[in-house]
């Protein structure tokens, strides 16, 4: 049985069933989930049946596609309804997010996680590390967060509700946030290996309560953590520890802020359940390019990018279950927008005149019945209004994209992670993960260009290899920023090497005859030095932050001495990082005893506070290093700007 074969189960249903088990059955729950996952499953309409054994069947009834009541899960065993099978089935199924999608969201989207907030009481040292009295940062969305056609792990784009200038969270909201903090801290204490169905159930109950208390951002973050925990424990190949680090830090950070936020900050912390589409009148749109979208969850489709006459970017997408095969097929289907007969490929090079347009905060064009659209003339990348997109200096574009991709920023739905550059190709360079294409753009900044998707069914990999055989070629490109300590993009589209038209690098395949010298082999540029200052020692703190997630607090508590690591970090100009590493490891190892010498319970809240501060700090410094790299020219020393811990832990 694959979890995807089961209908989604509402978080409160799973929590109710687990809470109803006896302590003896709770100890058997994880084993029951594993055993149930190996049993045959079949679906008939709204009912999914699992064969528990030769004589017993377990049924999940999902009217409307979601199991919304505990009574909708029934078992035929003798112990039902107090059996472990019902709870195991709920834990094995995906967690449902009952937030309704906007009516104008015409095409299906892949599911994705969200973001979180609210602290329990912490000690004074941890409070200082978290900067409790300092206003938190602000900016665009985080944790899919994953929107349907975005990369997995990122949070959905939730526009904030309005709040009066001095409004603060209600007592019920603070209590719900405290419960989320405690549940998140318990996950951090136990690690992936120890965060079984019972721990996940506590998170789901806290998420449901937060939703009822109008804290959708925090509730979504908790669901993201549960989804990633299940992926990690099931051995899902798409799971990445870094994604769970981001989701947990978003949950703890958002939960922490509920108690201290007010006004506009509180509105951002609370979030909004729905992604609203607002009227935008009449739009004259010009096609830029079309990119294939393939997610780790098995969804596939395309996203076509268009620009308005004022330079604003919009997208028209079609993403649903299907993988790379569906992405290639959908590219030649008609765009679902008004009366237009253009396919996605054609729209990427043509234009649209839209009346009655509706737009989501992240630029998605709505496809409601009132929207009218007809085909219009497009524009070349060198013609207005599109040419203006390439007129902004690369460093400014990178700063804008960083605000859009920041892992823990408040959602405001603005900005784009795309960069528009004029480059000269220098050839391929070898890296530990493979080869990438080196190019030079304005100001002498050297940019590494990588494939957006390595799936052999898509054209990205082959096209990049061909472009490596054309050093000296000048191209106008569109890429997506990859936050790194050196300028780095995934290459999405470019002008044709012959100068005629454009190339959607995931869909269109270049040929050797298209290159200036078709007989030239791939050219490898000279190795690139790490820079005068060498690589940043920040990874020494980052790896301890990540190490905690799979194995829990005990993984750091067993470390003997980190003096050598902290000394190296200080030499690299990061004294705050060194202090955080020392405090984090000391908190992990601290276990007090009572008067009789017995160990007292660990301070899970204090450890979670230090871990959160370290996670947020490393993210902020990484973003600062990325911004500095785009401002540096060849041979420049990339300095690490100071990032006070209270500015990143809020």
What is the percent of the chain with per-residue pLDDT over 70, rounded to a whole number?
83
Q: H helices of 383-459, where? A: 394-405
Residues in CB range of 464: below 8 A, 6 or more apart: 436, 437, 449, 450, 451, 491, 505
What is the structure's pLDDT at 5?
80
Q: Both tokens of residue 317?
A: 């997408």
Find out whether 381 and 390 touch, Cβ atoms under 8 Å. yes
CA 305 centroid distance within chain: 20
Q: What is the 3-state secondary structure (H, E, C) of 347-376?
A: HCCCEEEEEEEEECCCCEECCCCCCEEEEE
- 430: how many CB neighbours lie within 10 A of its CB? 11
Going by C-alpha positions, the residue among 383, 143, 377, 417 that lies closest to residue 291 is 417
Q: Which of 113-127, 427-441, 447-461 holds the top average pLDDT?
A: 447-461
Q: Both tokens of residue 55?
A: 């004589």
618, containing H or E segment: helix 604-631
Q: What is the pLDDT of residues 502-515, one digit of tens each?
A: 999 999 999 988 88
Q: Which of 90-104, 386-400, 636-650 holds the top average pLDDT?
A: 386-400
More confident residue, 604 or 118: 604
Q: Which of 4-8, 215-219, 357-361, 446-450 has the lowest mean pLDDT?
A: 4-8
What is the structure's pLDDT at 4?
61
pTM over 0.85: no
Write down the residue that tokens 């029951």 correspond to.
32
Q: Both tokens of residue 508?
A: 């269109």
Q: What is the pLDDT of residues 412-424, one digit of tens each?
A: 656 789 999 999 9
More confident residue, 521 or 154: 521
Span 617-636, average pLDDT: 81
What is the percent of the chain with per-residue pLDDT over 90, rounded to a whole number?
56
Pairwise CA distance, residues 82 & 591, whole Å: 38
Q: What is the pLDDT of residues 123-144, one digit of tens each?
A: 333 333 333 332 333 332 332 2
What is the structure's pLDDT at 616?
94
Q: Which of 121-125, 144-148, 367-371, 472-476 holds the top average pLDDT?
A: 472-476
Span 385-405, average pLDDT: 93
Q: Which of 273-277, 377-381, 637-641 has the lowest mean pLDDT?
A: 637-641
Q: What is the C-alpha radius of gyration for the chain, rounded to an integer number of angstroms?
A: 26
Asked if residue 276 has pLDDT above 80, the reply is no
- 133: how many CB neighbours lie within 10 A of its CB? 10
Asked if residue 282 has pLDDT above 60, the reply is yes
> 354 forms bridges with which residues in the sheet?
283, 373
Q: Both tokens of residue 589?
A: 């190892």
**Residue 282: half-sphere exposure toward Cβ, Cα within 13 Å:** 3
What's the chain's average pLDDT? 83
């Amino acid at each position: 049985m694959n979890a995807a074969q089961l209908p989604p189960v509402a978080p409160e249903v799973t929590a109710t069933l687990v809470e109803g088990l006896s302590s003896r059955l709770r100890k058997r729950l994880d084993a029951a989930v594993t055993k149930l996952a190996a049993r045959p499953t079949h679906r008939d309409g709204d009912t999914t049946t699992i064969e528990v054994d030769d004589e017993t069947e377990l049924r999940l009834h999902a009217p409307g596609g979601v199991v919304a009541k505990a009574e909708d899960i029934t078992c035929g065993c003798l112990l039902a309804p107090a059996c472990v099978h019902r709870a195991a089935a709920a834990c094995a199924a995906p967690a449902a997010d009952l937030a309704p999608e906007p009516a104008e969201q015409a095409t299906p989207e892949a599911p994705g996680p969200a973001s979180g907030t609210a602290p329990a009481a912490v000690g004074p040292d941890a409070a200082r590390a978290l900067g409790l009295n300092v206003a938190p940062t602000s900016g665009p969305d985080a944790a899919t967060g994953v929107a349907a056609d975005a990369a997995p792990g990122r949070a959905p784009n939730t526009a904030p509700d309005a709040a009066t200038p001095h409004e603060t969270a209600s007592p019920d909201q603070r209590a719900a946030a405290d419960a989320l903090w405690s549940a998140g801290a318990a996950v951090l204490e136990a690690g992936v290996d120890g965060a079984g169905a019972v721990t996940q159930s506590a998170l789901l109950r806290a998420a449901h309560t937060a939703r009822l208390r109008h804290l959708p951002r925090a509730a979504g973050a908790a669901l993201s953590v549960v989804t990633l925990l299940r992926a990690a424990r099931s051995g899902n190949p798409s799971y990445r520890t870094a994604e769970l680090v981001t989701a947990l830090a978003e949950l703890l950070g958002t939960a922490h802020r509920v108690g201290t936020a007010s006004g506009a900050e509180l509105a951002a912390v609370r979030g909004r359940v729905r992604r609203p589409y607002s009227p935008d009148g009449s739009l004259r749109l010009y096609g830029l390019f079309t990119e294939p979208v393939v997610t780790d969850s098995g969804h596939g489709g395309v996203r076509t990018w268009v620009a308005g006459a004022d330079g604003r970017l919009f997208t028209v997408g079609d993403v649903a279950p299907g993988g790379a095969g569906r992405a290639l097929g959908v590219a030649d289907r008609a765009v679902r927008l008004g009366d237009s007969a253009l396919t996605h490929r054609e729209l990427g090079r043509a234009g649209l005149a839209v009346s009655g347009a509706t737009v989501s905060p992240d630029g998605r064009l709505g496809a409601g019945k009132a929207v009218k659209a007809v085909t219009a003339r497009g524009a070349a990348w060198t013609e207005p209004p599109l040419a203006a997109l390439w007129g902004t200096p690369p460093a400014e574009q990178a700063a804008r994209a960083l605000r859009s991709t920041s892992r823990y920023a408040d959602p405001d739905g603005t900005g784009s992670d795309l960069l528009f550059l004029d480059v000269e190709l220098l050839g391929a360079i070898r890296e530990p993960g493979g080869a990438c294409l080196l190019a030079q753009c304005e100001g002498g900044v050297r940019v590494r260009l990588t494939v957006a998707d390595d799936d052999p069914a898509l054209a990205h990999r082959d096209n990049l290899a061909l472009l490596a055989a054309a050093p000296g070629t000048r191209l106008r490109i569109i890429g997506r920023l990859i936050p790194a300590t050196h300028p780095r993009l995934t290459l999405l589209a470019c002008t044709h090497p012959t100068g005629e038209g454009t190339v959607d690098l995931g869909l269109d395949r270049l040929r050797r005859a298209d290159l200036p010298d078709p007989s030239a082999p791939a050219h490898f540029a000279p190795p690139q030095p790490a820079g005068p200052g060498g690589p940043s020692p920040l990874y020494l703190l980052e790896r301890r932050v990540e190490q905690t997630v799979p194995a829990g607090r005990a993984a750091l508590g067993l470390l003997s001495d980190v003096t050598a690591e902290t000394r190296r970090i200080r030499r690299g100009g990061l004294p705050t990082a060194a202090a955080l590493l020392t405090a984090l490891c000391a908190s992990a190892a601290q276990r007090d005893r009572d008067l009789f010498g017995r160990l007292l319970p660990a301070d899970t809240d204090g450890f979670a506070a230090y871990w959160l501060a370290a996670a947020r700090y490393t993210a902020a410094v990484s973003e600062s290093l990325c911004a500095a790299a785009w401002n540096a020219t060849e041979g420049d020393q990339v300095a690490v700007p100071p990032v006070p811990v209270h500015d990143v832990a809020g």
